[in-house]
């Protein structure tokens, strides 16, 4: 008797209501687990999937705050503590108007397997709010973060749950959140990661997701005797992950020709070099402006309003903005234009039929839970440094990050090969991540 994954997914769908992103993530993971579930009946006997789809707990709360005009504002706050079989809950906070329960459940679910792949002991969680930091003053963001933390503080701790950043939550927000945590808990511990260097943060954490993505991409290309050097890359997004991806790809001798935001895409055929990237960082991180301004600043570059980068010919596509940003038409355009590698900085940026298209066309396709795991991996290293009350050098952290990305890559390919498809990173990442968590759950009994 085998696990009827299809039937199981339809039951979860019926029980959980309208949560399309969660169902999408669930379907992608569980379908690729089928050969593993067939090989090891213990997962069925121990009802591992049934237990795995039900978060340990979901916390939803009201966040009231006063805007600069003196008016009362209300947002909704969340923390999904999905699974702590292999370590304390760990995962980012997203502040974006599209945040709702189903979105955070997808992100927390993915985080379980991603964190398992990092080799570090971290469980899966995610949280956030429908609060939109865009257009808010620093003081408004601070008041919101302080109010958010008044509730969150009860649920987190250095060995319980350690939040970090994600979309809309960067260094500024982590500072305000940590400040309030420290005040309420009356302790200075590593309960948040992404802290500033000098007050508990790790060197290389800001860079980690983009650098890790670049290292993973380099490993993927090496399987075909190639490297980033000389490759033209299209990158989406222009936030934390996109910025440090461009930085490292440049250092590896590649050329990034696009960036984007929710307004549109810029194309710079000469490449976004270090000087232009410094402009982007100042534009996005300090002035909090729009990527359209890039085209006005650098003659020869172009701006395409409302467009994503995927119609532009490239060797490698590196989606670093948000979920479902590559649809089937985008995938067809990429392949038709000669793209041979897609590695995901964002979480679940590729729609399921587009993933199938990449795999069917022999594209090197690196799913986010493997390719973007460098961010949370260095968060794990930040926790390790905090626990020891020391800080490591840039070189130490960067070397460890590179080693972790190589280990993830090898583990994913090794696992995929064991199931007969060495180039299928989806299969390898899902089975490798699942096996570690599932075995821990079985060992710990029915809890
Ligand atoms: P940032 O907030 O720094 O940047 C997000 C970027 O994506 C912005 O350019 C933003 O544009 C764009 N974007 C966000 N939502 C949309 C949308 N709906 N449509 C089009 N563009 C959009 O976030 P990060 O760089 O930290 O995160 C980017 C992705 O990477 C996310 O999927 C995140 O989950 C993932 N990730 C992040 C990690 C981290 O350590 N930060 C680790 C692993 C994965 P705009 O300003 O217009 O909203
Ligand atoms: O999606 C992710 O892995 C992150 N946003 C980083 C999480 C973390 O805890 O560093």
Write out the chain's pLDDT in tens, 447 residues: 678 899 999 999 999 999 999 999 999 999 999 999 999 999 999 999 999 999 999 999 999 999 999 999 999 999 999 999 999 999 999 999 999 999 999 999 999 999 999 999 999 999 999 999 999 999 999 999 999 999 999 999 999 999 999 999 999 999 999 999 999 999 999 999 999 999 999 999 999 999 999 999 999 999 999 999 999 999 999 999 999 999 999 999 999 999 999 999 999 999 999 999 999 999 999 999 999 999 999 999 999 999 999 999 999 999 999 999 999 999 999 999 999 999 999 999 999 999 999 999 999 999 999 999 999 999 999 999 999 999 999 999 999 999 999 999 999 999 999 999 999 999 999 999 999 999 999 999 998
* Closest by Cα among 90, 163, 164, 174 to 133: 174
What CA–CA distance (Å, rounded) separates 369 from 81? 18
> What are phi and psi for residue 198, nearest 5 degrees?
110, -20
Ligand number with the minimum distance to the CA of 216: 1
Q: How many Cα atoms within 13 Å fall on the side-chain side of residue 272? A: 31
Contacts of 95 (CB under 8 A, 6+ apart): 128, 129, 131, 132, 133, 167, 168, 169, 173
CA of 145 to the centre of ligand 2 (A): 18
> Is residue 320 within 6 Å of ligand 1 at its C-beta?
yes
The helix (run of H) or strand (run of E) holding residue 111 is: helix 101-117
In 3-state terms, what secondary structure has residue 394? helix
Which residue, chain included where needed, has tokens 């793209």?
339
Residues 6+ apart with CB under 8 A from 55: 80, 81, 82, 83, 105, 108
Q: How far is it, in rounded angstroms, from Cα 99 to Cα 116?
A: 25
Q: 316-318 and 232-235: which strand pairing?
A: parallel
Nearest-5° Cα angle at 69, 66 to 72? 30
With a 6 Å cutoff on the Cβ, whether 90 touches ligand 2 is yes
- Given a contact cutoff of 8 angstroms between Cβ atoms, the answer to whether 76 and 130 are in contact is yes
Q: What is the pLDDT of residue 2?
A: 77
Tell me how far CA of residue 34 lies from CA of 30, 220, 244, in angstroms: 7, 25, 36
Which two structure tokens, joined as six digits, stand for 214?
């670049």
Measure CA of the first residue to CA of the last residue in the chain; give whole Å: 25
How many angstroms separate the CA atoms of 404 and 419, rounded? 23
Ligand 1 lined by 379 (C-beta under 6 Å): no
164 close to ligand 2 (CB < 6 Angstrom) = yes
For ligand 2, atom 10, which residue shows the shortest CA distance?
A: 376
Catalytic residue among 126, 276, 284, 369: 126
Instruction: Tokens 């299969």: give the residue.
Output: 427
Question: Residue with the nearest Cα to atom 22 of ligand 1?
Answer: 262
Main-chain phi, psi angles of 153, to 5 degrees: -55, -30
What pLDDT, on a 0 to 100 scale, did the predictor assign at position 39? 97
Looking at ligand 1, which residue's alpha carbon is closest to its atom 29? 346
Per-residue tokens: 414: 């090794």
Annotated catalytic residue 126: yes
Q: Residue 166: CB within 6 Å of ligand 1?
A: yes
**Across-strand partners of 266?**
259, 303
Query: Which tokens go with 95?
Result: 């502040």
Burial of residue 117 (CB within 10 Å: 0-12, 13-18, 19+) is buried
| 386 CB-near residues (< 8 Å, 6+ apart) | 158, 189, 190, 200
91 lines ligand 2 (CB under 6 A): yes
Answer yes or no: are the C-beta atoms of 67 and 131 closer than 8 Å.
Answer: no
The confidence score (pLDDT) of residue 1 equals 66
Nearest C-alpha neighbor of 247 from the set 203, 284, 221, 209: 209
Angle between helices 101-117 and 394-418 (to 10 degrees): 90
The Cα angle at residue 352 between residues 116 and 84, in degrees rounded to 5: 20
* Best residue among 375, 380, 405 to mutate for probing ligand 2, ranked by most atoms within 8 Å of CB: 375
């Amino acid at each position: 008797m085998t696990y009827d994954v299809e039937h199981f997914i339809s039951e979860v769908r019926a029980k959980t209501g309208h949560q399309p992103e969660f169902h999408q993530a669930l379907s992608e993971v569980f379908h690729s687990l089928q050969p593993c579930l067939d090989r090891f009946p213990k997962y069925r006997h121990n009802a591992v999937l049934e237990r795995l789809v039900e978060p340990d707990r979901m916390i939803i709360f009201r966040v009231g705050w006063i805007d600069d005009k003196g008016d009362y504002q209300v947002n909704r706050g969340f923390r999904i503590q999905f699974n702590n079989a292999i370590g304390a809950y760990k995962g980012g906070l997203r502040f974006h108007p599209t945040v709702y329960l189903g979105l955070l459940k997808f992100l927390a679910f993915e985080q379980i397997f991603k964190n398992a792949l990092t080799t570090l002991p971290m469980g899966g969680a995610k949280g956030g709010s429908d609060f939109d930091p865009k257009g808010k003053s620093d003081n408004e963001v601070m008041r919101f973060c302080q109010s958010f933390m008044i509730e969150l503080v009860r649920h987190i701790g250095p060995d319980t749950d350690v939040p970090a950043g994600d979309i809309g939550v960067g260094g500024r927000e982590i500072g305000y959140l940590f400040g309030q945590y420290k005040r309420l808990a009356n302790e200075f511990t590593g309960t948040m990661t992404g802290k500033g260097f000098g007050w508990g943060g790790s060197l290389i954490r800001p860079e980690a997701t983009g650098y890790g993505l670049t290292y993973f991409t380099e490993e993927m290309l090496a399987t075909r005797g190639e490297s980033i050097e000389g490759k033209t890359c299209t990158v989406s997004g222009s936030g934390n992950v996109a910025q440090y991806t461009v930085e490292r790809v440049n250092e590896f001798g590649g050329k990034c020709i696009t960036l984007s935001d929710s307004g549109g895409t810029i194309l710079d055929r000469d490449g976004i070099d270090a000087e232009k990237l410094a402009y982007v960082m100042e534009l996005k991180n300090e002035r909090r402006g729009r990527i359209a301004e890039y085209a006005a600043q650098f003659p020869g570059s172009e701006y395409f309003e409302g467009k994503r980068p995927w119609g532009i010919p490239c060797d490698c596509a590196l989606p670093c903005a948000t979920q479902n940003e590559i649809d089937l038409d985008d995938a067809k355009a990429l392949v038709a234009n000669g793209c041979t590698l897609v590695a995901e900085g964002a979480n679940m940026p590729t729609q399921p039929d587009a993933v199938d298209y990449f795999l069917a066309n022999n594209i090197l396709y690196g799913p986010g839970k493997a390719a973007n795991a460098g961010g949370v991996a260095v968060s794990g290293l930040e926790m390790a440094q905090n626990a020891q009350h020391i800080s490591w050098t840039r070189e130490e952290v960067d070397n460890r990050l590179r080693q972790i990305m190589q280990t993830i890559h090898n583990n994913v390919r090794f696992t995929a090969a064991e199931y007969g498809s060495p180039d299928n990173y989806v299969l390898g990442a899902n089975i490798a991540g699942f096996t570690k968590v599932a075995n821990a759950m079985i060992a710990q009994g029915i809890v």
